[in-house]
């Protein structure tokens, strides 16, 4: 087993000791000792026998109600603090492997390989500038931790870095550690469970805070590093307008199945983004006003500002404009009119700042020019005036219902009943009509009005902040043409990108055929101007067909879409709707990007970053810098050094595996009579509604079975009881069948030589390692009626088979042999997560028996166990 870096172990010990002192101070030494006894017994039980585990269970079952909350909070907060230590340490220059940082090695090794291949005429700087990555921040209901606690955790991380910097007896060390202790005490006194579900506007503000606290610093730092490393190898400088990575958001724009996201919310979020952008630029400008006090200037700058301090004159003018923009945006966000004139485009800031930049360089002040001023120019290229552009997403039937309502009003017929050809003919005719589509005195119902009101927001003065219009459950060209018609009728700007989202297995398999039909429409070819985004869904396809069939369908869809786009002279940009978990397409960015079909990221990469993964990957500037650099390196490598195409025999066996996988998965999830009953009994799925996780409801509609449940709580529930079923179910039987048929050697070859398959198996390995059959069995014993328990036994047996298949394919004796850091991290966490699992099962049992009379301590402790397990597993859904 790999050992923790000594410095990391020291940080974890410091935070653990401080937390222990806080608990003792607040609840007494007896409570602290109770928690420590449970931890020690959990550690013994992990490596011991049934008697050791029985002793642990006895300690937990006999715990009085008034001890429940302090105990579960103690374990939860330790796991959160351990996460902070790990996250901060991974970016610390003091860590033992700092000089072997993955992000730097990736980029430098890639440049080495490109230079060795002596690719003639290749402008590496322009290649970096053109990688065209867009990360889309989403607020799916997964971020368990409250924003007020996140801010305190972030402060602890900064203090830990200062502590790294001031080691070896520095006189300020004691002061730093006292401040850390104070923060831990503040955290302990703060309720970790939200009492009120956050609004969509709250979620958007959280997204803006990620930009403010981290990405605002990380983006110029990234470009500075890339520029320096490219120049050292003789490449040209990165263009000042280079923005290899940009950011968008779904927070306040994603209304699919979320009645809380309305046109009013979208409007407010768009103006708040403008306010936040103006505020951040204003901070830069005010600092530049202090810096640029010199009088030596170019003729061009002096002509524009004929004063003794021309730079400051320019900066003061921009300051006034930004202050006006901030006031304008604040008034408009509140729904009020404003007579102020805002800055409308990034060019209004960029041009005067460029004038200053060129002047400084002309006067030999290049060091000043390439300081904060250059950073501000880089930020403008990335963030523009909108900070993050907003995606608007709506489900396809909502648009069809609007068209139907218009048809009803005019007596044109039953739009829903028309076949696809008739729908397209009607929509194209209306798109060419000079008559207004929407009746002047029409009074539609609220749902229809809301769709149209949203489009009117996109058509308003703040609508430039909308990046695209996404249609979920898009299945036919008419779904896209209907949106185009409604956008035109509401006077939305020309050529707003319309993005179909293909989610289910059937939709993925039909996606290229449907896009080919759409691109064959002359009107649409003119509309899209040779560019198209298509979104590939990971969550719903996995829930629909199982992970194995879904990943293969996604791979094939990307291949066929890329091929059809090329045939139609369309520059295709694929948009990956990934989540943070394997069950939702998540995984390390580098391997995930290189696992895509060759050529599929040639048009750039758009990908969602969701929930708690935003915090883990981009919550600190140093961590964000590292992850952004990995994205740039990976896309560059995928385009310039693409992997070889899959061999025909690999594709054949993959097709067979996927077919077997989907049959196996659906047989269990859809066709097994008691599966839904077992799921709801064995997991905390029913209790998830009590956690105020996000603005979106857990279900698309009330009642129903698995099909009505969103992918995120579906995965959350299985993760909480450690069966991790969505990520492996179906793959177990598919792989076993093919290995038993004598195809192990070929499957091993696929693992060794095919990045797509290797990434998939590595993700399976990680999931199977995190799964725990004993814990899952305990949930079953406490929560599931006897007649359903044989189903759980079957599932655990299949999990064991899955583990054996992974070991066979990877030719290993134990899991995670090639990932010792994760293995050790999980082994350190287990003594803290195990008691939370056992307590959660016990509390679920008590809560369900008590029904409406459950005690407040039991309910609160249950919620904290959910948060703690999520922290220990480093993911929720």
- Give catalytic residues, as residue numbers: 140, 543
How would you classify residue 536: left for phi > 0, otherwise alpha for psi between -120 and 50, otherwise beta?
A: beta
For residue 702, give both structure tokens: 């009330």
Phi and psi of 340, rounded to 5°?
Answer: -70, 155
Task: For residues 139 and 155, give the distance between their C-alpha atoms in angstroms, rounded to a whole number.
Answer: 22
Reduce the DSSP state of residue 601 to 3 states and report it: coil
The contacts of residue 786 (CB under 8 Å, 6+ apart) are: none
DSSP annotation of 211: I
Strands 531-537 and 498-502: parallel
Number of other CB atoms surrounding residue 228 within 10 Å = 11
Name the maximum alpha-carbon separation found in the chain.
88
DSSP annotation of 250: -
Q: What residues are paired with 138 via a beta bridge?
A: 610
Task: For residues 719 and 876, give the distance between their C-alpha atoms in angstroms, rounded to a whole number.
Answer: 7
Task: For residues 651 and 577, give the distance between their C-alpha atoms in angstroms, rounded to a whole number.
Answer: 24
Please provide the DSSP assignment of 290-318 as one string: HH-------HHHHHHS-SSSHHHHHHHHH
The sign one gets for the Cα dihedral 865, 868, 869, 875 is positive
Task: For residues 636 and 735, give the distance between their C-alpha atoms in angstroms, rounded to a whole number.
Answer: 33
Residues 180, 190 contacting (CB under 8 angstroms): no
Integer angstrom CA distances of residue 432 from 240, 405, 489, 572: 42, 20, 11, 26
How would you classify residue 154: left for phi > 0, otherwise alpha for psi between -120 and 50, otherwise beta?
A: alpha
Q: Torsion angle of alpha carbons 246, 249, 253, 259, nearest 10°?
A: 160
Q: State how far Cα 453 lies from the chain centre.
A: 28
Task: For residues 474 and 577, give the distance between their C-alpha atoms in angstroms, rounded to a whole number.
Answer: 14
Residues 481, 452 contacting (CB under 8 angstroms): no
Please tell me the total number of residues recorded for the chain in this structure.
877
Number of other CB atoms surrounding residue 566 within 10 Å = 13
The contacts of residue 713 (CB under 8 Å, 6+ apart) are: 141, 685, 688, 698, 877
Q: Count Cα atoms within 13 angstroms, Cβ side, for 467.
A: 29
From the list 287, 288, 265, 285, the residue with the least C-alpha distance to 277 is 285
Q: Count Cα atoms within 13 angstroms, Cβ side, for 286.
A: 9
For residue 376, give both structure tokens: 């501000």
Integer angstrom CA distances of residue 646 from 556, 557, 597: 11, 15, 9
Helix (H) or strand (E) holding 822: helix 820-850
Residues 15, 81 contacting (CB under 8 angstroms): yes
From the list 265, 258, 148, 261, the residue with the least C-alpha distance to 209 is 148
Task: For residues 131 and 129, give the distance between their C-alpha atoms in angstroms, rounded to a whole number.
Answer: 6
Scored b (16 or more CB within 10 A) or e, 357-376 reads bebbebbebeebbbebbbbb
**Distance, first Cα to last Cα, the chain:** 28
Integer angstrom CA distances of residue 29 from 39, 76, 187, 423: 15, 19, 19, 73
């Amino acid at each position: 087993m790999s050992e923790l870096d000594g410095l990391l172990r020291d940080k974890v010990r410091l935070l653990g000791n401080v937390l222990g002192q806080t608990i003792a101070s607040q609840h007494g030494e007896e409570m602290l000792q109770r928690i420590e006894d449970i931890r020690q017994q959990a550690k013994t039980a992990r490596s011991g026998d049934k008697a050791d585990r029985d002793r642990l269970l006895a300690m937990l079952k006999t715990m009085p109600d008034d001890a429940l909350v302090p105990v579960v909070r103690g374990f939860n907060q330790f796991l959160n603090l351990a996460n902070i230590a790990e996250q901060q340490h991974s970016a610390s220059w003091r860590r033992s492997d700092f000089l072997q940082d993955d992000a730097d090695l990736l980029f430098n090794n890639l440049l080495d390989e490109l230079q060795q291949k002596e690719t003639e005429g290749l402008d590496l700087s322009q290649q970096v500038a053109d990688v065209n990555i867009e990360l889309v921040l989403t607020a799916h209901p997964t971020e368990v931790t409250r924003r007020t606690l996140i801010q305190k955790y972030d402060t602890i991380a900064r203090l830990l870095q200062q502590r790294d910097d001031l080691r070896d007896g520095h006189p300020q060390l004691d002061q730093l550690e006292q401040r850390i202790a104070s923060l831990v005490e503040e955290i302990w006194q703060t309720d970790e469970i939200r009492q009120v579900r956050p609004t969509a506007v709250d979620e958007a503000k959280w997204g803006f805070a990620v930009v403010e606290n981290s990405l605002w610093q990380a983006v110029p730092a990234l470009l500075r590093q890339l520029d320096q490393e490219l120049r050292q190898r003789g490449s040209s400088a990165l263009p000042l307008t280079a923005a290899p990575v940009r950011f968008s958001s779904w927070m306040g724009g994603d209304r699919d199945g979320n009645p809380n996201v309305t046109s009013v919310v979208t409007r407010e979020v768009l103006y708040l983004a403008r306010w936040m952008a103006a505020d951040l630029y204003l901070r830069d400008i005010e600092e530049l006003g202090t810096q640029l006090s010199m009088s030596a200037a170019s003729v061009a700058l002096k002509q524009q500002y004929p004063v003794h301090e021309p730079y400051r004159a320019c900066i003061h003018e921009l300051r006034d404009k930004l202050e006006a923009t901030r006031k304008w945006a604040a008034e408009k966000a509140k729904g009020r009119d404003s007579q102020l004139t805002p800055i409308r485009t990034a060019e209004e800031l960029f041009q005067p700042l460029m004038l200053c930049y060129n002047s400084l360089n002309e006067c030999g002040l290049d060091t000043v020019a390439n300081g904060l001023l250059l950073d501000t120019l880089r930020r403008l290229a990335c963030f523009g005036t909108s900070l993050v552009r907003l995606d608007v997403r709506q489900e396809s039937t909502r648009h069809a219902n609007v068209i139907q309502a218009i048809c009803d009003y005019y007596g044109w017929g039953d739009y829903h009943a028309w076949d696809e050809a008739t729908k397209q003919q009607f929509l194209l005719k209306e798109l060419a009509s000079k008559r207004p589509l929407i009746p002047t005195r029409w009074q539609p119902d609220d749902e229809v009005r809301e769709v149209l009101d949203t489009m009117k927001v996109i058509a308003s003065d703040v609508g430039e902040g909308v990046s695209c219009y996404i249609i979920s459950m898009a299945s036919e060209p008419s779904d896209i043409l209907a949106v185009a018609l409604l956008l035109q009728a509401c006077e939305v700007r020309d050529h707003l990108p319309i993005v179909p989202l293909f989610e289910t297995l059937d939709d993925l398999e039909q996606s290229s055929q449907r896009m080919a039909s759409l691109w064959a429409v002359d009107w649409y070819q003119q509309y899209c101007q040779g560019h198209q985004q298509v979104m590939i869904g990971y969550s719903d396809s996995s829930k629909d067909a199982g992970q194995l069939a879904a990943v293969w369908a996604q791979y094939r869809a990307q291949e066929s879409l890329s091929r059809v786009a090329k045939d139609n002279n369309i520059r295709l940009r694929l948009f990956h709707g990934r989540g943070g978990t394997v069950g939702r397409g998540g995984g390390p960015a580098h391997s995930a990007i290189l696992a895509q079909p060759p050529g599929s990221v040639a048009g750039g990469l758009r990908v969602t970053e969701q929930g708690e993964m935003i915090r883990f990957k981009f919550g600190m500037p140093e961590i964000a810098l590292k992850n952004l650099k990995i994205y740039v390196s990976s896309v560059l490598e995928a385009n310039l050094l693409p992997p070889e195409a899959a061999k025909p025999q690999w594709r054949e066996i993959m097709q067979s595996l996927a077919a077997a996988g989907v049959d196996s998965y659906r047989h269990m999830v859809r066709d097994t009579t008691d599966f839904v009953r077992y799921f709801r009994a064995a997991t905390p799925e029913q209790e998830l509604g009590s956690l105020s996780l996000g603005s979106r409801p857990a279900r698309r509609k009330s009642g129903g079975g698995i099909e009505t449940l969103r992918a995120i709580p579906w995965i959350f529930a299985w993760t909480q009881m450690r069966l991790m079923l969505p990520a492996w179910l179906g793959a177990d039987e598919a792989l076993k069948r093919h290995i038993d048929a004598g195809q192990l050697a070929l499957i091993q070859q696929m693992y060794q030589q095919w990045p797509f398959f290797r990434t998939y198996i590595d993700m399976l390995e990680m999931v199977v390692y995190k799964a725990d059959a004993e814990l899952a069995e305990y949930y079953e014993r406490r929560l599931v009626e006897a007649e359903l328990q044989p189903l759980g036994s079957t599932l655990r047996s299949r999990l064991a088979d899955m583990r054996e298949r992974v070991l066979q394919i990877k030719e290993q004796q134990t899991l995670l042999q090639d990932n010792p850091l994760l293995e050790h991290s999980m082994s350190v966490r287990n003594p803290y997560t195990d008691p939370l699992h056992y307590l959660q099962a016990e509390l679920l049992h008590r809560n369900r028996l008590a029904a409406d009379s459950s005690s407040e301590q039991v309910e609160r402790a249950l919620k904290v166990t959910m948060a703690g397990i999520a922290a220990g597993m480093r993911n929720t859904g």
